[in-house]
Amino acid sequence: MSGAAVLEGRGLAVAYGARRVLDGLDVAIAAGGVTALCGPNGCGKSTLLRALAGLQPLAGGEVLVEGRPLAGLRRRARAQALAMLAQVNEVPSGLTVFELAAYGRHAHRPLIGGLSGADRTAILDALDATGLRAHAAREVAALSGGERQRAWIAMALAQQCRVLLLDEPTTWLDVRHQVELVAALKALNRARGITIVCVLHDLNQAAALADRVLLMREGRICHDGPPETVLRPAPLAEVYGVEMWRLDHPDSAAPLCVPAFAPAQRRPREVRS
């Protein structure tokens, strides 16, 4: 992972009415890494992600992509640099996996004309990378939840962007599809060097996927570092307000975070006369 920042937020301020969600926040995302934004509901994770994507109006500050102000980039140049996938994405009826991935080529195509050879190569390459080439002709609506998420990621890959922003990509997926999606994202990052920034609620997913975890609370970044440093009982208790236990994965030694649920009250033993 390079130390150069591919995406920066400087003095970011976002307000919803009189309420400031972000107030002078600074963040720098290193090229080629995976960064997880974690924290309780309402702490500003998704707002920060949208701000970095240029989708959230700012009350102050600026976003830089590879040292250039994002606000000054034309839509095509912005799309070639960044792609963002929201929590919920609506799919038009009848749209196939190939056609969805082809939407990612709009940043590279002329206004008039069909797909070029380069477009088709990029689309098929994206479907290969996400394991969906065999499903290219299937309707997106007919896919499983995990396959559908991978189809959206294929669209972003066909866009050939350098930074992929994901807002809770594992939401609504069952455990199997969560595991598969995390593995697919990690493989894409390792194989292609795509910079990934994602909002995650599941701390164990963050530990498995990310090189860096930002713990947020009330619009501030309270802790910033590798999972083994950040995902510890003291920082987690500070941010979430609950006691957490930290275990080590038996194979990788990656941190595993478990809420310290109170044990069920034991029944008194029956006394026999």
Helix ranges (DSSP H) in the chain: 45-53, 75-81, 97-102, 117-129, 145-158, 175-192, 203-209, 227-230, 233-240
Q: Which residue has the tokens 């860096």?
A: 212
By CB atoms closer than 10 A (0-12, 13-18, 19+), residue 62 is middle
Nearest-Å Rg of the Cα atoms of the chain is 21
Task: Read off the pLDDT of residues 186-221 as tens digits, 9 standing for 90 and up.
Answer: 999 999 899 999 999 999 999 999 999 999 999 999
Instruction: Give SS3 for 7.
Output: strand
What is the per-residue pLDDT for 258? Answer: 87
Q: What is the mean pLDDT of residues 33-50?
A: 97
Domains identified in the chain and CATH numbers:
1-66+162-273 (3.40.50.300), 76-161 (no CATH)
pLDDT for the residue numbered 30: 95
Determine contact, residues 65/52, Cβ cutoff 8 Å. Answer: no
Backbone φ, ψ for residue 36 (5° rounding): -105, 130
pLDDT at 110: 67
Q: How far apart are CA 179 and CA 220, in angstroms?
A: 29
The yes-or-no verdict on residue 271 having pLDDT over 50 is: no
More confident residue, 50 or 160: 50
pTM: 0.87
pLDDT digits (tens, 9 = 90+) for 213-267: 999 999 999 999 999 999 999 999 999 999 998 888 888 878 889 888 755 555 5
Burial (Cβ within 10 Å: 0-12, 13-18, ≥19) of residue 35: buried
